[in-house]
Amino acid sequence: MSDLQQTPLYDLHLELGGKMVPFAGYSMPVQYPMGVMKEHLHTRNFAGLFDVSHMGQVILSGASWEAVATAFETLVPMDVLGLADGRQRYGLFTNDVGGIEDDLMFARRGNDLFVVVNAACKGADIARMKAALEPQVTVTAIDDRALIALQGPGAEAALATIDPTAANMRFMDFGALSLDGVEVWASRSGYTGEDGYEISVPADEAETVVRGLLAIEGVEPIGLGARDSLRLEAGLCLYGNDIDAQTNPVEASLNWAIQKIRRAGGAREGGYPGAQVVQAAFEDGVARKRVGLAPQGRAPMREGTQLYDAEDGGRLVGHVTSGSFGPTLGMPVAMGYVGAEYASVDTALWGEVRGKRLPVSVAKLPFVAANFKR
């Protein structure tokens, strides 16, 4: 643990009784005294506060918005140029074989682009952006800001007690708020499927801001354990588990993230790494698909569980990439990849758990409907 980096909120986590674990090179709270199950349910019903300062924050700036957006489109298959000021979008860095190098969020701040990337990938992502975009676009890694997420149906009311304008934000809006005199950058988004906000805070003000939020009735600190079960119920991918450098976005059922203007026939089709491979997947289909999985019984099917089409013998047809108990549903939930012919909802399969095959069926994603404010 001594070699791990610490976020600006590390001392507060210890004060709050956080159980610290290594994660992506950081010492992070996996849970607090409330425990993972109660933290999960509290976020679903009230408001949970997460420290996500291990994520990478980056600003891209250039001579004009057009220059920045056009350059960034050489790295991602998303419509960046069409993004309105004060709006955010989900994105993917792709590679030459059409695989996903990372998934990310990007928001327009005037003529600049604010990019948030995954902790485990941020060194490679920043290097990728610098190599591809500079000197025309300046890539600035931000190391003096924390990042927190306030999530749950009570998030709006809680944040609006400090800055009432937070209530006016729609899903994927991005802008500045003032929290007890501290200017923060906030997006109305998150990684739980619930309404909420992700908030970039100056590092030296982070503890003050977080203490102010935790003082509001209904807001509790939540660890990485509940963050993972919440995102799994919401059908959201975890990089390194559900998507990776060998995963085509179409296989991952992330078609929706690639706007028509960047697809074949669109005004700005292609032009990003692996574009031909991704476009071929749209046109010709793929051999496997990411699906939801509902194990029958109480035993979770964890990452790596092999999936078969018969109880005895049978064909290996896929594997689980994320699996856990879903506290909201009171049952195990999982995601994984199966052959395209097995991807229909309610398809009956078998997962091998400790040498025994147990029934599991393909399920519709998300397991818990999204509660975003549109």
Same domain, 149 and 46: yes
Q: Of 227, 163, 159, give the one whose Cα is nearest residue 197.
A: 159
Q: Which two tokens stand for residue 77?
A: 């298959």
Same domain, 291 and 229: no
Predicted local distance difference test score (pLDDT) of residue 75: 98
Determine phi and psi for 306, rounding to 5 degrees.
-85, 145
Alpha-carbon distance of 80 to 262, in angstroms, equals 10
322 belongs to a structural domain: yes
Among 233, 251, 277, where does a domain finish?
A: 233
Q: Of 18, 24, 87, give the one whose Cα is nearest residue 49.
A: 18
CATH number where 155 lies: 3.30.1360.120
Same domain, 43 and 157: yes
**Tally of structural domains, the chain:** 2
Q: Of 94, 363, 107, give the one whose Cα is nearest residue 243.
A: 94
Predicted local distance difference test score (pLDDT) of residue 350: 98
Alpha-carbon distance of 148 to 332, in angstroms, equals 28
Q: Which residues pair with 48 in a beta bridge?
A: 151, 220
Same domain, 33 and 175: yes
Predicted local distance difference test score (pLDDT) of residue 93: 98
60 belongs to a structural domain: no
Same domain, 150 and 212: yes
DSSP one-letter code for 203? G
Same domain, 189 and 293: no
Task: Please tell me whether residue 311 adopts helix, strand or coil conformation.
Answer: coil
Cα end-to-end distance, the chain, whole Å: 41
282 belongs to a structural domain: no
Among 165, 200, 233, where does a domain finish?
A: 233
Same domain, 179 and 309: no
Q: Cis before residue 366, ω within 30 degrees of 0?
A: yes
Give the residue ranges of DSSP H helices in 258-354.
275-284
Q: What is the pTM of this model?
A: 0.97
71 belongs to a structural domain: no
CA distances from 167 to 46, 62, 154, 158 (A): 16, 32, 11, 10
Alpha-carbon distance of 220 to 51, in angstroms, equals 12
Assign residue 119 a region (left: φ > 0; alpha: ψ between -120 and 50; beta: otherwise): alpha
Q: Buried (b) or exposed (e) across 197-216, using 16+ Cβ within 10 A? A: bbbbbbbebbbebbeebeeb
Same domain, 222 and 303: no
Alpha-carbon distance of 153 to 59, in angstroms, equals 30
Other CB atoms within a 10 A radius of the CB of residue 152 amount to: 26
Predicted local distance difference test score (pLDDT) of residue 313: 86
Q: Of 261, 320, 328, give the one whose Cα is nearest residue 295.
A: 320
Among 202, 233, 264, where does a domain finish?
A: 233
214 belongs to a structural domain: yes
DSSP state letters, 49-102: EEE-TTSEEEEEE-SSHHHHHHHHTTT-SS--TTPPTTBEEEEEEE-TTS-EEE
Predicted local distance difference test score (pLDDT) of residue 55: 98
Structural domain containing residue 202 = 10-52+144-233
Residue type, 338: V
| Beta pairing, strands 145-151 & 138-142 | unpaired
| Strand ranges, E, within the chain | 19-23, 26-31, 47-51, 56-61, 88-94, 100-109, 112-117, 138-142, 145-151, 174-179, 182-187, 196-202, 219-221, 288-295, 306-308, 316-326, 331-339, 348-353, 356-363
Q: Which two tokens stand for residue 364?
A: 């519709």
DSSP one-letter code for 169? P
249 belongs to a structural domain: no
Sign of the Cα pseudo-torsion (45, 51, 55, 60, in order):
positive
Can you give the pLDDT of all 374 residues of the chain as single tens digits? 579 999 999 999 999 999 999 999 999 999 999 999 999 999 999 999 999 999 999 999 999 999 999 999 999 999 999 999 999 999 999 999 999 999 999 999 999 999 999 999 999 999 999 999 999 999 999 999 999 999 999 999 999 999 999 999 999 999 999 999 999 999 999 999 999 999 999 999 999 999 999 999 999 999 999 999 999 999 999 999 999 999 999 999 999 999 999 999 999 999 999 999 999 999 999 999 999 999 998 999 999 999 999 999 899 999 999 999 999 999 999 999 999 999 999 999 999 999 999 999 999 999 999 999 98
Alpha-carbon distance of 323 to 229, in angstroms, equals 9
Predicted local distance difference test score (pLDDT) of residue 374: 83
Q: Cis before residue 135, ω within 30 degrees of 0?
A: yes
280 belongs to a structural domain: no
Same domain, 32 and 150: yes
CATH number where 351 lies: 2.40.30.110
